[in-house]
Amino acid sequence: MSSLEKRKLAYKSINKTSLRITIHLSTPIIYPLNGIHLDALLTEVVARELFSYDLDRWQYQDKHIELPLPLEKTKGEYPVWKASIGFTSPIVREYQDFWIKRTNAEFAGYKSSEIIWPAGVISDVVSKSLAKEVNIEKATGPANNPASGGFKSYYKKRDLLLTDYMIFHAYGNKEEVGRLLKTLNGIGKKVAIGFGKVKRIEVNEVEDDYSLFTPNGKPSRNLPVKDFPNLKSQIIASRTMSPYWSKRDLVVCYAPSSPIPVWEWEEDVKIESFEESWFEEDLEDNYSWFDD
């Protein structure tokens, strides 16, 4: 029996309960447009364990297969994992910054037109180049192309969130979910350069199941309209399973109000106004996202 089949049988039989997963962060997070699904995070970890010999396979849509997870699944025409997207803490700040890269001009190639080649280069006589433009490399070495490729120059904006933790809900096995998630170094986009760095993760059992719906009855993840009719929420075209970035097999779904909504149902949390936080003298002491 293969490792994949063994994992399917093991996950099918293990005990599952309502869970809250709190991922504490030490750096700002760059969030994707379709939100951060908990089942996508778990799928990435399971894929690494089952296909460690082919680490880049999950970057290619054609290599994706449905993997078992220690979660419960819904019934219907389009089953989905009982796992929410990520919600921010009530204290959160959103802003934009810019990512700039400029190729070193010293090693950049340049183009020239109306080149005249001396005799002996392309002909026995002095010849005019037939090409409209000729790429000329400097004598220092290979030319960097600032318009494309690895040396491309760019100026891009990115959306960031400052939040001390993110909340996910699921219906699954506490121990196995915790074991898988503890291998995560970061969440969101651009984790390789330090964004969305995970400080610690807590997995706790809770009484109520918010893996599909928030306390006010709104979707806490993308839900197929076919299986969940008559909901009052925005409608989008989305996949119902990982990878959510893919444009294949899209289904009409109800979606949460935002890619990264705020978890509004915390007790004893006062959300300060912008003016209050601006004039707070001990800002660093009060907000844990500045600690590291």
Summarised one tens digit per residue, pLDDT across range 117-160 is 777 666 777 777 666 666 655 545 555 566 666 667 766 777 88
What pTM, to 2 d.p., does this model score? 0.72
- Domain positions in the chain are 3-96+160-290, 103-152
Q: What are the φ and ψ backbone dihedral angles of 33, each rounded to 5 degrees? A: -70, -25
pLDDT value at residue 101: 65
Summarised one tens digit per residue, pLDDT across range 167-186 is 999 999 999 999 999 988 88
Average pLDDT over residues 62-84: 89
Least confident of 30-34, 131-135, 283-287: 283-287
pLDDT value at residue 108: 56
**126, 140 contact by CB (below 8 A):** no
**112, 136 contact by CB (below 8 A):** yes
Average pLDDT over residues 42-62: 77
Encoded tokens for 147:
């318009």
Q: Cβ of 45: how many Cβ atoms within 10 Å?
A: 17
Identify residue 102 by its one-letter amino acid code: R
Average pLDDT over residues 278-291: 48
Percentage of the residues of the chain whose pLDDT score is greater than 90:
32
28 vs 278, more confident: 28
Angle between the N-to-C axes of helices 38-50 and 174-181, in degrees from 0 to 180, rounded to the nearest 10 = 70
Helix (H, G, I), strand (E, B) or coil at 192: helix
pLDDT of 276 higher than 70 = no
Nearest to 93 by CA among 181, 191, 192, 160: 160
pLDDT value at residue 275: 45
Q: Where are the alpha helices (DSSP H) in 14-123?
A: 38-50
